């Protein structure tokens, strides 16, 4: 099963991963604020993830680990 | 008795550098030091070394920065206007604590100036030459033999103290031909350089060669550490030759070609019964302050003989602690004081004038 | 099974770059290539002056911080000292194409066996958004507040095209990192630029059209779009020189 892990504290909330996801299952958590003061990225439907790693390829801060 | 060969000063520097283990030379053509580059261009390819004519003095000093980062002995040479261009690199070398040998075969300035010998880069050399708090070890040869010896010494001091050494010569010293005993040069083994960027080999944390420290406390700490090192150098490495100073009532201060001219004048003055001697700084930084301080105890006055508008004279006055008057005997712009001019200055000083 | 993780050649230090800045993507691509080629232990990176000045904190290989624009000269020294090292520079447009243009051109002319990663984002980022040698005609920056006036400031420099006129360089390619497919292509180019050095082929430069959302005054998303709409038309992507491929073709 595909699994995404975010190093949430290093996320700058740029949202590039959100746009890159072909399954549209990422979002910026507007209800959360990380240590840097950003709304961090998170996955809303882990089951729908296909582990394509597009989000990780796009992430400028290398905070995403993809497993399958 | 070792065998002597007849060599130009510039060539002696080049050959001595090779003897000292330098296998990388980067330069840019400028009169009157081009023989160094020409010599390296001929020799380096035959001994597996690098000679590279850089696109500018700026590029050359940064290539030096690269080789030094890799932990190897490296040099560049130029003349006054070219050394100004190297100023940026000299500051970065100092900031990153990198050893290297820089040769300045001085010519008259400012600006494009002329191509005749000069000593008017004394301030530039002894005060660092670029921006920021730092020094270079500055060596002033007065013979072709010394051009060779101080080149070896320059490399060794640079490695010992992790800083740049500069040979501050002039057009005359560079072009002059004299017999040299190269066999006499002794080279000590190079110290280990665990800080060098040669690749981690996946066996150690990465080394970083750097002069950027955005935290002022950190930058200050490095500056303090560097100046502690400088203090040690001032204590232990200052060198001067004293000539007929034991009973001297007048001290002539001169380095390089000016010292050679002065010696002739001093010999003449001695024949006239004037008690005059010479203090010839061999290291301009560290300045041999103790020798001048001691001389100030027994001389009545000092004369600074220079191929400039009077630069070393400031250090002479400081070292003599203003206890004796110091006068200037100089030519500038590529002119050299004659022995007669120096003799006249000595005679005038002996009469109490200055 | 891990499909994607941070490459070993990157340290754990978080990047100081602004949100959405593509420097981080290119750092990661370089590190991935270093990992894949197994060269971390013998690689020396040269950081520039500019936004990526602190790249020395981000790569696990030995690093040197160079003076502004002088990275190719420093790289030349390192490579000549230890030809077995793999030496790369990472430079921005102000560093490489303005103050360091002489070092760039001459290291290319010498076919110095080094790899240059050139970040072209059409602006001086670190100092707060001044006009770069690659700023587009009409582009508003802090020092071209009415838009870059080509009559007064001249035209932006196309580095790959200019260097391609030289006999020296082995490989010149312009890529971008504004989408997943483009990132994959960029990585291929970067890998080739390192591979060329390993094979002793010589000077390889990859120009990466990058974004600077902060100083362009855009969201990260809009900045990536601006690359497509404004940057690429002036700076077309593609291979500008590939001497080995040309030779192969000739032989065929």
Q: What is the pLDDT of residue B93?
A: 98
Residue B260 located in a structural domain: yes
DSSP tag of C141: B
Instruction: Identify the domain containing residue B78 by its residue range.
Output: 5-200+223-236
Residues C59 and C43: their CA atoms lie apart, in Å, by 10
- The answer to whether the beta carbons of residues C142 and C129 sit under 8 Å apart is yes
- B167 lies in the same domain as B75: yes
Rounded to a whole number, what is the distance in Å from the CA of A36 to chain C's nearest CA?
Answer: 11
> What's the average model confidence in pLDDT over C140-161?
97
Q: In what order do the strands lie in the sheet with B100-106?
A: B50-53, B24-27, B74-78, B100-106, B164-170, B137-139, B283-285
**Whole-number Cα distances in Å, B89 to B80, B310, C50, C67:** 15, 27, 18, 8
- B227 lies in the same domain as B271: no
Q: Which residues of C218-237 are buried (b: 16+ CB within 10 A; e: fewer)?
A: bebbebbebbeeebbeebeb
Contact: chain C with chain B (3+ CB pairs below 8 Å): yes
Residue B216 located in a structural domain: no
Chain A residue whose CA is closest to C219: A14
DSSP tag of B88: H
- B152 lies in the same domain as B270: no
Other beta carbons less than 10 A from residue C57's beta carbon: 17
- Spell out, as residue ranges, where chain B has pLDDT lower than 50: none
> What's the average model confidence in pLDDT over C123-149?
97
Q: What is the pLDDT of residue B353?
A: 67
- The answer to whether the beta carbons of residues A35 and A64 sit under 8 Å apart is no
CATH number for B90:
3.40.50.970
Q: What is the pLDDT of residue B354?
A: 53
Rounded to a whole number, what is the distance in Å from the CA of A30 to chain C's nearest CA?
Answer: 16
* Superfamily of chain region C23-251: Thiamin diphosphate (ThDP)-binding fold, Pyr/PP domains (3.40.50.970)
CB contact under 8 A, B24 and C77: yes
Other beta carbons less than 10 A from residue C93's beta carbon: 25
Mutation target vs A (from C10, C14, C226; most A CBs, 10 A cutoff)? C14
Chain C residue whose CA is closest to B210: C65
Residues C133 and C123: their CA atoms lie apart, in Å, by 8
Q: Is the pLDDT of residue C86 over 60?
A: yes
Statement: the pTM of the whole predicted model exceeds 0.95: yes
Q: pLDDT exceeding 70 applies to what percent of chain B?
A: 99
Q: What is the pLDDT of residue C251?
A: 85
Write out pLDDT tens, residues B184-228. 899 999 999 999 999 999 999 999 999 999 999 999 999 999 999
- The answer to whether the beta carbons of residues C209 and C237 sit under 8 Å apart is yes
Q: Which residues pair with B179 in a beta bridge?
A: B6
- In 3-state terms, what secondary structure has residue A67? strand
| Chain C neighbors of A15, CB-CB under 8 A | 20, 220-221
For residue C76, the Cα-to-chain-centroid distance in whole angstroms is: 17
Write out pLDDT tens, residues B78-116. 999 999 999 999 999 999 999 999 999 999 999 999 999
**Whole-number Cα distances in Å, C234 to B6, B36, C174:** 62, 46, 12
Across chain C, mean pLDDT equals: 97
- B231 lies in the same domain as B317: no
Q: Which residues of C136-166 are buried (b: 16+ CB within 10 A; e: fewer)?
A: beebebeebeeebeeeeeeebbbbbebbeeb
CATH number for B253:
3.40.50.920
Residue B208 located in a structural domain: no
- B74 lies in the same domain as B168: yes
Instruction: Identify the domain containing residue A34 by its residue range.
Output: 3-67
Other beta carbons less than 10 A from residue B179's beta carbon: 12
CB contact under 8 A, C70 and B199: no
CB contact under 8 A, C24 and A20: no
Write out pLDDT tens, residues A11-54. 999 999 999 999 999 999 999 999 999 999 999 999 999 999 99
ipTM: 0.97
| Number of structural domains in chain B | 2
Domain coordinates in residue numbering, chain C: 23-251
Which positions ≥6 away from B160 have C-beta within 8 Å?
A: B191
Residue B210 located in a structural domain: no
The neighbours of chain C, by the rule of 3 or more Cβ pairs under 8 Å, are: A, B
The neighbours of chain B, by the rule of 3 or more Cβ pairs under 8 Å, are: C
> What's the average model confidence in pLDDT over C221-241?
98
CATH number for A22:
3.30.70.3270
| Chain C neighbors of A61, CB-CB under 8 A | 14-15, 17, 24
- B182 lies in the same domain as B257: no
Query: What is the DSSP annotation of B126-144?
Result: HT-SSSSS---EEE---SH
Residue finishing a domain among B208, B236, B264: B236
Written as six digits, the tokens of B275 are: 């008690």
Q: Which residues pair with C117 in a beta bridge?
A: C90, C206
């Amino acid at each position: 099963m595909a699994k995404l892990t975010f190093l949430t504290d290093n996320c700058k909330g740029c949202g590039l991963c959100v746009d890159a996801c072909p399954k549209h299952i990422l979002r910026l958590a507007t209800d959360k604020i990380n240590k840097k003061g950003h709304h961090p990225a998170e996955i809303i439907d882990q089951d729908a993830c296909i582990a394509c790693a597009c989000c990780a390829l796009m992430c400028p801060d290398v905070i995403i680990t993809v497993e399958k | 008795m070792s065998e002597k060969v007849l060599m130009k000063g510039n060539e002696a520097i080049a050959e001595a550098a090779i003897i000292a283990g330098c296998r990388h030379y980067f330069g840019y053509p400028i009169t009157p030091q081009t023989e160094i580059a020409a010599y390296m261009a001929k020799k380096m390819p035959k001994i597996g070394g690098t000679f590279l004519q850089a696109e500018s003095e700026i590029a050359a000093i940064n290539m030096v920065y690269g080789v030094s980062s890799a932990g190897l002995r490296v040099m560049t040479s130029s003349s006054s206007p070219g050394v100004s261009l190297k100023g940026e690199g000299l500051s970065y070398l100092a900031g990153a604590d990198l050893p290297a040998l820089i040769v300045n075969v001085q010519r008259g300035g400012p600006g494009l100036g002329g191509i005749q010998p000069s000593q008017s880069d004394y301030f530039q050399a002894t005060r660092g030459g670029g921006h920021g708090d730092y020094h270079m070890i500055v060596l002033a040869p007065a013979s072709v033999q010394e051009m060779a010896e101080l080149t070896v010494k320059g490399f060794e001091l640079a490695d010992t103290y992790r800083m740049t050494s500069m040979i501050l010569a002039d057009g005359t010293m560079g072009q002059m031909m004299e017999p040299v005993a190269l066999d006499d040069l002794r080279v000590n083994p190079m110290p280990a350089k665990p800080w060098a960027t040669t690749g981690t080999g996946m066996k150690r944390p990465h080394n970083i060669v750097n002069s950027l420290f955005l935290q002022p406390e950190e930058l200050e700490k490095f500056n303090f550490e560097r100046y502690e090192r400088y203090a040690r150098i001032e204590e232990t490495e200052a060198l001067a030759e004293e000539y007929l100073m034991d009973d001297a009532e007048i001290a002539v201060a001169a380095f390089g070609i000016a010292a050679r001219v002065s010696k002739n004048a001093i010999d003449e003055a001695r024949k006239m019964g004037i008690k005059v001697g010479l203090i010839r700084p061999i290291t301009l930084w560290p300045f041999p302050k103790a020798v001048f301080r001691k001389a100030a105890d027994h001389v009545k006055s000092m004369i600074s003989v220079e191929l400039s508008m009077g630069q070393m004279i400031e250090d002479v006055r400081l070292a003599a602690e203003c206890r004796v008057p110091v006068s200037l005997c100089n030519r500038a712009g590529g002119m050299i004081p004659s022995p007669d001019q120096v003799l006249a200055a000595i005679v005038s000083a002996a009469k109490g004038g200055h | 099974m891990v499909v994607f993780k941070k490459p070993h050649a990157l340290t754990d230090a978080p990047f100081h770059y602004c949100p959405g800045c593509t420097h981080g993507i290119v750092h990661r691509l370089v590190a991935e290539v270093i990992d894949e080629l197994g060269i971390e232990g013998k690689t020396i990176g040269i950081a520039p002056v500019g936004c990526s000045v602190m790249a020395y904190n981000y790569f696990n290989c030995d690093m040197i911080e160079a003076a502004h624009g002088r990275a190719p000269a420093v790289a030349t020294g390192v490579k000549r000292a230890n030809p077995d090292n793999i030496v790369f520079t990472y430079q921005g447009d102000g560093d490489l194409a303005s103050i360091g243009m002489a070092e760039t051109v001459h290291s290319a002319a010498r076919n110095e066996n080094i790899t240059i990663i050139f970040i072209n984002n059409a602006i001086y980022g670190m100092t707060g958004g001044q006009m770069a040698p690659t700023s587009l005609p009409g582009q508003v920056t802090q020092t071209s507040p009415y838009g870059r006036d080509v009559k007064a400031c001249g035209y932006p420099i196309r580095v790959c095209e200019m260097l391609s006129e030289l006999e020296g360089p082995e490989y010149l390619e312009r890529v971008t990192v504004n989408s997943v497919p483009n990132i994959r292509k960029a990585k291929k180019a970067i890998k080739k630029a390192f591979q060329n050095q390993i094979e002793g082929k010589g000077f390889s430069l990859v120009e990466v059209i990058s974004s600077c959302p902060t100083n362009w005054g855009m969201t990260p998303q809009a900045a990536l779009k601006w690359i497509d709409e404004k940057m690429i038309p002036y700076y077309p992507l593609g291979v500008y020189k590939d001497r080995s491929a040309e030779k192969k073709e000739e032989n065929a």
